[in-house]
Amino acid sequence: MHIASSPSSPTDWTTTQRWYADLLPDFNVFTVSVTNTGAQAGLLIACRNTYDDGTIDTLVGDQSWKTIEQDPPANFQSPLFNDLLNWVDVVDQGVYRTTPWDDAASASFDELALPPVLDFSSSSAQWIWDVNPGSEAADSRAFKYTFSVPQGRVAKYATVIIAADNQHYLYVNGLPANYGASFQDAQRVVVNLAGAPDPDMVLFAVEVLDEGGPGGVIFAAQVVFDDGSSETVESGGEWKTLSATTPVDFMNPSVKDNEWQNAVVVDTTVGSWTAVVPPI
């Protein structure tokens, strides 16, 4: 499956790209076609693999990778392609901070630029609720936000960070995406948007279960497009909610929220919501 292409310019290597891809259960092949426009050539890659039990491992470009000393053969990216014949071990060009791409010993060494990692401290995400919360009885509230995909772009995936007082269920385009039960430790989840039923929009919907006292939810998402650009969605007063227990099927794109009220950006001094930290 084609994941992404970099822009084509001789200075591509100075700007790193970060991409998300769904993995298959037991067998995955990573392939890259690199075009050299002259002088030195190299590829620097690291992949973080996340498993359903929450564990993580990292795969890096090293001498276990293979290459072929010719233009990429047709279908070389296929998991069924035979890379035994004529394929050779790659040549190790050195670790990150290696000449000629840069020199760690040089005072002018520049870190490669990376897309920013989403966090609350650098976002404008606000705690929201249907009213300014006080000491309501335990109940649930629904929140929805419809993001319009800019014309000419295709949404590939969204990284979401979210925390709620006290529990939340996140749905994206009607499908369950995340659950959390802490207003101090946020959740981070990546949601694949490829194949969304309506490519023109992304629907974020959250049910929050307030166990009593203040209720609230804070949310930020980075929606990444096929050209590598991205836009941010943040919880705020333009989100839709109801002053009522969460309706069944509220998360479905077919359930309209035109009649819903705007969420209230709450007074955060009423909750203990100041130190919400998502995992990296």
Binding site for Ca ion (CB under 5 A): 165-166, 210, 213
Question: At which residue do the structure tokens 């995400």 appear?
Answer: 125
In this structure, what token pair is assigned to residue 151? 């014309």
Instruction: State the SS3 of 119-151.
Output: CCCCCCCCCEECCCCCCCCCEEEEEEEEEECCC
| Other C-beta atoms lying within 10 Å of the C-beta of residue 118 | 20
Q: How far is the CB of 121 from Ca ion (least distance, A)?
A: 23
Q: How far is the CB of 179 from Ca ion (least distance, A)?
A: 16
Q: How far is the CB of 183 from Ca ion (least distance, A)?
A: 8
Among the listed residues 96, 7, 122, the one whose alpha carbon sits nearest the alpha carbon of residue 44: 96
CB 243 within 8 A of CB 261: yes
Among the listed residues 220, 221, 233, 246, the one whose alpha carbon sits nearest the alpha carbon of residue 130: 246
| Other C-beta atoms lying within 10 Å of the C-beta of residue 273 | 19
User: At a CB cut-off of 8 Å and minimum separation 6, what does 240 contact?
Assistant: 143, 144, 145, 257, 260, 261, 262, 263
Nearer to Ca ion, 68 or 138 (CB): 138
Nearer to Ca ion, 126 or 166 (CB): 166
**Rounded-to-integer distance, Cα 93 and Cα 42, Å:** 7
Nearer to Ca ion, 214 or 278 (CB): 214
In this structure, what token pair is assigned to residue 218? 């804070």
Nearer to Ca ion, 176 or 212 (CB): 212
Nearer to Ca ion, 141 or 156 (CB): 141
Nearer to Ca ion, 123 or 166 (CB): 166
Q: How far is the CB of 231 from Ca ion (least distance, A)?
A: 31
CB 117 within 8 A of CB 280: yes
Q: How far is the CB of 216 from Ca ion (least distance, A)?
A: 8
Q: How far is the CB of 242 from Ca ion (least distance, A)?
A: 18
Q: How far is the CB of 213 from Ca ion (least distance, A)?
A: 4
Nearer to Ca ion, 216 or 278 (CB): 216
Q: How far is the CB of 127 from Ca ion (least distance, A)?
A: 12
Torsion of CA 222, 24, 79, 34, to 10 degrees: 20
195: left (phi over 0), alpha (psi -120 to 50) or beta: left
Radius of gyration (C-alpha) of the chain in whole angstroms? 23
Nearer to Ca ion, 224 or 264 (CB): 264
